[in-house]
C-alpha cells in the first residue's frame, strides 16, 4: 500500500543507514549495560540523539537524492522511532537488578 506514492520497502531502503545506526547504538547500550558499565557511561549512547540526527539527515537527503518532496518525510519519524523504541524495550527487559531500572536516552 503506497503512502504518498512510495511503498514501505522504498521507505525502508531510504532509511537503511539510520535504522542500522539505531540498531548499533541500541545493541551497544544493551551490551554495555549487561557488562556492568555505569549508567553515567551508558547514557552517552543516546537513541534520542540518533533519531534526531536521523531526522536532520532525512530532511537533507530527501532533497538531494530525489526521493520525493518533503511530504515523503511525514511517514519517516514513525519508522525510526518505532525501531528505536523496540531497541529500548529490549535493553530495558535485559537489565538486571532494581538499580538499573531506567534507561536514559
Per-residue pLDDT of the chain (105 residues), as tens digits, is 776 777 878 878 888 888 899 889 888 888 888 888 888 888 788 877 888 888 888 888 888 887 777 776 776 666 666 666 665 655 555 555 555 545 555
Q: What is the pLDDT of residue 57?
A: 86
pTM: 0.62
Q: What is the pLDDT of residue 95?
A: 54
Alpha helices in 6-75 (DSSP H): 8-34, 39-42, 47-64
The grid coordinates of residue 42 equal 551508558
Amino acid at each position: 500500500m503506497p503512502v504518498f506514492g512510495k511503498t514501505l520497502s522504498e521507505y525502508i531502503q531510504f532509511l537503511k543507514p539510520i535504522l542500522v545506526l539505531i540498531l548499533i547504538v541500541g545493541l551497544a547500550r544493551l551490551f554495555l549495560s549487561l557488562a556492568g558499565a555505569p549508567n553515567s557511561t551508558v547514557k552517552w549512547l543516546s537513541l534520542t540523539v540518533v533519531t534526531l540526527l536521523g531526522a536532520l539527515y532525512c530532511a537533507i537527503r530527501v532533497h538531494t537524492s530525489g526521493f520525493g518532496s518533503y511530504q515523503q518525510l511525514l511517514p519517516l519519524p514513525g519508522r525510526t522511532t518505532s525501531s528505536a523504541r523496540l531497541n529500548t524495550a529490549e535493553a530495558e527487559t535485559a537489565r538486571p537488578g532494581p538499580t538499573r531500572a531506567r534507561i536514559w536516552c
